Structure 1
Amino acid sequence: MAPVTATFRFYEELNDFIARPLRRRSFSCVCPPAATAKHMIEALGVPHTEVELILVNGESVGFERILEDGDRVAVYPKFEALDIRPLLRVRAEPLRMIRFVADAHLGGLAQLLRLAGFDTLYDNHYADAAIEALAAAEQRIVLTRDRELLKRRTITHGCYVRALKPEAQLREIFGRLDLAGSARPFRLCLTCNAPLRRIEKEEVADRAPQGVLERHTQFVTCDVCRRVFWEGSHWRRMRALMDAVVDGVHAVHAAPPAAGGAQ
């Protein structure tokens, strides 16, 4: 089979992934025989998880569409202000539950997502293959700053994280995935990702400083790491951060709990 030539145009932030001379304009590209839309989009540098809509000759298609000579391919990221669900062809269905797996560079973001109540797996020793397997087995959204990871075949949902600082990353993910309505802060342990539960004050007598026991009456614990947390100054800063992110106002400083408890 002879190669075919198709014309491509990438929109908005997808241009961040492609070669600078090709950004924000239409360009022709020679495609291998029987190349799919997914193959060519990723060959040009864009992970398939970043793509929300593909139009070939004006018609919405899936990643598996075989490109033909003369095709005009328009590739779009998530639409912020327009509901395009009736047009979508690139994924079979959305994920029912929002769960994440974060790569080795996103430990701070993983903690903040747990703070917001989102089940987030993280281990700085995870290999790419392990992340891919977890995403497929548990239907998790992959969070990474490695675009090659997002090109792996079995990863269907993922986000390339552009921001560099954890709080900015949290706001980015909240905005891109519209997470504000799903946030349930202070539900998970920041260290273990396990559910927190209420515990009676009498049960923490030997697990919290005496001064804390004198000033506070409500406590929660993680049954995995057995840490105890209370509504101290760290908790108030984290509450302020969550309120700022959820409400879409300016950032405020927040710090995760220190080892052994929240002060």
Structure 2
Amino acid sequence: MERPEIWIEFAPELHVFVASAQRAGRSAVRTDGSSTLGHVVESMGVPLTEVGALLAGGRPVGASHVPGAGEEISVCAVSRPQQLPGPARFLLDVHLGTLARRLRLLGVDAAYESVDIGDAALAARSAAEQRVMLSRDRGLLRRRELWAGAHVYSSRPDDQLRDVLSRFAPPLAPWTRCTACNGQLHSAAKEAVQEQLRDGTERSYDVFAQCGDCGQVYWRGAHHGRLNAIVADALAEFGGLSRS
């Protein structure tokens, strides 16, 4: 028995995931007649985390829809800013350490695993803590137990940060989180943190902050100009998008 054929078209934003034959517009795909549309889309390389509306013959359908022979399918990209069922809290895999630190610099709640704990453990943590899993690993993003997920498209930290901020529009509160552990920062008197300071730092600076979780001490040192530029650029481009 011949397998049924459907017609499928992917939004341009999703072309990075699919074979070149599926990038030119509508293309014919044979299915087994029983697989869901979600399974068909993922089998063609597109994580469902990146999919917005699914249309069959122009009408919205869910990922559980089973396409019939000759059906015309449109796969849309997720809309931006993307609505989440809860606060914009993130979990990043071992390969996204720089992005995690930059999100924390902006006051965004970004948990990060500095060692590879495996896809199952990451997905379980995403579900338990209701965090959006950020990763470049398509296999991880296909795990059903994820609370939510998003593919990080670029390998460059600057582009990664812009991608996440434009997609989720998290509230920005720069200089309020520890870039080392994600804890909350609070003002600290010099006397309270003096034992953690080198002589030059103690003589040159008077304003300090300390992490309430790991105790890391912060001050506006020589590196502050570079960090301030990251903050200023993010606020200029995305500060108005932030939701409370």
Q: TM above 0.5, one fold?
A: yes
SS in 2 for 1:244: helix
User: Which structure exhibits the higher relative contact order, with contacts defined as CA atoms closer than 8 Å and separated by 6 or more residues?
Assistant: 2
Asked if the contact 2:6–2:69 (Cα under 8 Å) also holds between the matched residues in 1, the reply is yes
Corresponding residue of 1:19: 19
**Aligned-pair CA distance for 1:177:** 2.3
**Aligned-pair CA distance for 1:63:** 1.2
Whole-angstrom CA distance in 1 between matches of 2:74 and 2:25: 10
Q: Is 2:91 the partner of 1:117?
A: no
Q: Is 2:150 the partner of 1:166?
A: no
**Aligned-pair CA distance for 1:186:** 1.4
Q: Percent identity?
A: 33
Asked if the contact 1:95–1:139 (Cα under 8 Å) also holds between the matched residues in 2, the reply is no
Instruction: Name the aligned partner's letter for residue 113 of structure 1.
Output: L
The superposition leaves residues 169-217 of structure 1 with CA deviations (integer Å, 9 ceiling, x where unpaired) of: 11221122234xx111111111111111211222112111233233322
Q: Is 2:86 the partner of 1:96?
A: yes
**Aligned-pair CA distance for 1:248:** 2.7
**Aligned-pair CA distance for 1:156:** 4.9
**Aligned-pair CA distance for 1:122:** 1.4
SS in 2 for 1:205: helix
Q: Is 2:68 the partner of 1:68?
A: yes
Asked if the contact 2:21–2:27 (Cα under 8 Å) also holds between the matched residues in 1, the reply is no
**Aligned-pair CA distance for 1:2:** 7.7
Corresponding residue of 2:242: none
Note the 1:46-195 alignment, pairs <5 A.
46-79=46-79, 94-123=84-113, 124-179=115-170, 182-195=171-184
**Aligned-pair CA distance for 1:159:** 1.8
Asked if the contact 1:3–1:31 (Cα under 8 Å) also holds between the matched residues in 2, the reply is yes
Structure 1 gaps, min length 5:
86-92, 250-263
Whole-angstrom CA distance in 2 between matches of 1:131 and 1:76: 27
Larger CA deviation: 5-14 vs 206-215: 206-215
Asked if the contact 2:90–2:131 (Cα under 8 Å) also holds between the matched residues in 1, the reply is yes
Backbone CA RMSD of aligned residues:
2.2
Structure 2 gaps, min length 5:
239-244
- Which among 230, 233, 242 is matched to residue 244 of structure 1? 233
Quickly say closer, same or farther: Cα 1:174–1:230, change in 2 above 3 A: same
**Aligned-pair CA distance for 1:76:** 0.9
Number of paired residues? 237
Whole-angstrom CA distance in 2 between matches of 1:197 and 1:228: 10
Whole-angstrom CA distance in 1 between matches of 2:108 and 2:207: 23
